[in-house]
Amino acid sequence: MFAILTMMEREVKLENIVSLAKRRGFMYQGSEVYGGLSGTWDYGPLGVTLKRNIMNLWWNYFVDARDDMYGVDAAILMNQKVWQASGHVDTFTDPLVEDLKTNQRYRADHLVKDAGFEAEGLTNEELNELIIEKEIKSPVGNELSPVRTFNMMFQTTVGPVADEKSISYLRPETAQGVFTNYKNVVDNFYPDLPFGIAQQGKAFRNEISPRDFVFRSREFEMMEIEYFVHPDKWEESFEALLKDVHEFLDMLGLPQDMVHELEVPENDRAHYSKRTVDIEFDFPIGREELLGLAYRTDFDLKNIQVNSGKNMEYTIKGTNEKFIPHVIEPSFGVERALMAVLSSAYTEDEVNGEKRIFLKFPEHLAPVKYAVSPLLKNKPELVAKAREVYDILKKKHGNVMWDDNGNIGKRYRRQDEIGTPYCVVIDFETLEDNAVTIRERDTTEQKRVAIQEL
Ligand code: GAP
């Protein structure tokens, strides 16, 4: 009567998730009404709550619950010197090729990978050679241009005069807003080492070919920590943060067997990193990067010191020991976390011979915690009692939905699809015994509970 497919038996398809996300008000294509804007996504009423639940969980776990973390919220637009000093103006590039017939542009490494060859860490020259040698063509079979570098930062100008000096960029990472405020936090709070500064917020990258739903977007949200450590002690903080990252992923409900660590080899690491561990996840599109943990050394603070002329040294309290702290950086992409949560929660089973789709969110992430329904919506006495119950739960839990559309079976299906853990139904018996039926999402079991015990 009731059969849930195990993780191994089920194969979640990306199109099923995209379709559910749209059908049930989680995500919409950005600017859809005008034909869309590639690489942008809008959050619907349920999506925004799910996203905030993930971001709040992260903030509570990594900032509020700890004594060694400070939060900041820096401006998205920053002085162009930030991006010159950080290396982004010169090196934040992807390899670009053009279809010589259609002029469509593609990421060269993606085409090489799609053709079945290793592309990680290859230089433009090496990619070029591979494309020629293996006769790799565009996805529609045309010849490709030579590979060239393409800077992914969105450039804009600030103020009424557009010239060299007014150039700014939409930030491609939140990290630099932390580094530029490092000195402010040290001067105001003088924290002991090690300590971290955390930030959440939008980042923008002009991806050559955004794809795979929100996985590779042009506008997305990041959650980053720059954790400042004594240069001799970076390894212990690295290991401790790696452990914390796994604990957080557990809290997202991601099955441990779908989460993998990848020690990134030197030639694939970002220019600032001496060690990077990527956390990969078995997405419906395959095993891909979910987040990164990098040892950024003193690369950023040293560059700021050289380029701004301001001293970035930290003095150990009560001593004359001065140095520029080194940095460990756990860097999360919210959209990838959300896609991992959606795909691991997506479940199909059979109830009484009928196929059912439900999102098995951990309760603390579910956008709606309770749905409250009168058994029949044309019976005023049931509706009035159901409103009473709804008000009680709403006051207590906030995310409670009123649902009186269609018959009760349809309501259950709808609530299952948005991952509501509990449906509360008010029926004629409720008027007699002041108890309601609570139906549980995962097991579909129903039990009677007194209203005062809800
Ligand atoms: N501050 C370090 C940094 O920016 P990154 O590996 O370039 O490192 C960190 O990005 C995380 O941001 C990635 O692990 C991923 O979760 C997310 N991310 C990067 N580019 C993305 C994109 N185009 N769309 C969605 N998420 C992205």
Q: How far is the CA of 222 from the centre of ligand 1 (A)?
A: 7
Tell me which of 109, 134, 151 is where a domain ends. 151
Q: How many domains does the chain have?
A: 3
Amino acid at 122: L
CATH number at 281 reads 3.30.930.10
333 in contact with ligand 1, CB cutoff 6 A: yes
278 in contact with ligand 1, CB cutoff 6 A: no
What is the number of other CB atoms lying within 10 angstroms of the CB of residue 294? 22
296 in contact with ligand 1, CB cutoff 6 A: no
Which tokens go with 429? Answer: 């018996």
220 in contact with ligand 1, CB cutoff 6 A: yes
Q: Whose Cα sits closest to atom 12 in ligand 1?
A: 333
Give, rounded to a whole angstrom, the gap between the first and last alpha carbons of the chain: 29
- Pair (67, 99) in one structural domain: no
292 in contact with ligand 1, CB cutoff 6 A: yes
- Pair (65, 196) in one structural domain: yes
Q: Whose Cα sits closest to atom 21 in ligand 1?
A: 216
CATH number at 449 reads 3.40.50.800
> CA 181, CA 88: separation in Å to the nearest integer?
18
Mutation probe of ligand 1 site: the residue of 272, 289, 328 with most atoms within 8 A of C-beta: 289
Q: How far is the CA of 7 from the centre of ligand 1 (A)?
A: 27
> CA 263, CA 451: separation in Å to the nearest integer?
53
Q: Which residues of 167-186 are buried (b: 16+ CB within 10 A; e: fewer)?
A: ebbbbbbbbbbbbbbbbebb
- Pair (38, 100) in one structural domain: no
What is the number of other CB atoms lying within 10 angstroms of the CB of residue 374? 25
pLDDT tens across the length of the chain (454 residues): 344 443 444 578 899 999 999 999 999 999 999 999 999 999 999 999 999 999 999 999 999 999 999 999 999 999 999 999 999 999 899 999 999 999 999 999 999 999 999 888 888 999 999 999 999 999 999 999 999 999 999 999 999 989 999 999 999 999 999 999 999 999 999 999 999 999 999 999 999 989 899 999 999 999 999 999 999 999 999 999 999 999 999 999 999 999 999 999 998 898 889 999 999 999 999 999 999 999 999 999 999 999 999 999 999 999 999 999 999 999 999 999 999 999 999 999 888 888 999 999 999 999 999 999 999 988 999 999 999 999 999 999 899 999 999 899 999 999 999 999 999 999 999 999 999 999 999 999 999 999 988 8
- Pair (185, 305) in one structural domain: yes
222 in contact with ligand 1, CB cutoff 6 A: yes
404 in contact with ligand 1, CB cutoff 6 A: no
Dihedral, 332, 333, 336, 340 alpha carbons, nearest 10: 30
Instruction: Report CA Rg, the chain.
Output: 26
pLDDT for the residue 117: 92
Q: Are 182 and 191 in contact (CB under 8 A)?
A: no
CA distances from 449 to 120, 165, 225, 227, 274 (A): 57, 67, 44, 48, 57
Any domain includes 16 = yes
DSSP β-bridge partners for residue 281:
259, 288
Q: Whose Cα sits closest to atom 22 in ligand 1?
A: 216
Q: How far is the CA of 14 from the centre of ligand 1 (A)?
A: 20
173 in contact with ligand 1, CB cutoff 6 A: yes
What is the number of other CB atoms lying within 10 angstroms of the CB of residue 189? 10
Q: How far is the CA of 173 from the centre of ligand 1 (A)?
A: 8
The burial class, CB within 10 Å (0-12 / 13-18 / 19+), for 351 is: middle
Any domain includes 113 = yes
For the question of whether the overall pTM of this predicted structure is more than 0.85, the answer is yes
- Pair (36, 111) in one structural domain: no
Which domain, by its residues, includes 106? 93-151
Q: How far is the CA of 321 from the centre of ligand 1 (A)?
A: 35
- Pair (188, 304) in one structural domain: yes
252 in contact with ligand 1, CB cutoff 6 A: no
Tell me which of 296, 312, 344 is where a domain ends. 344
- The upper half-sphere exposure of residue 152, i.e. CA atoms within 13 Å in the direction of its Cβ, equals 25
Any domain includes 235 = yes
In sequence order, what are the residues at sequence separation of 6 or more whose Cβ sits closer than 8 angstroms to the Cβ of residue 41?
27, 28, 29, 30, 213, 214, 217, 219, 335
- Pair (133, 246) in one structural domain: no
18 in contact with ligand 1, CB cutoff 6 A: no
- Pair (204, 321) in one structural domain: yes
- Pair (51, 199) in one structural domain: yes
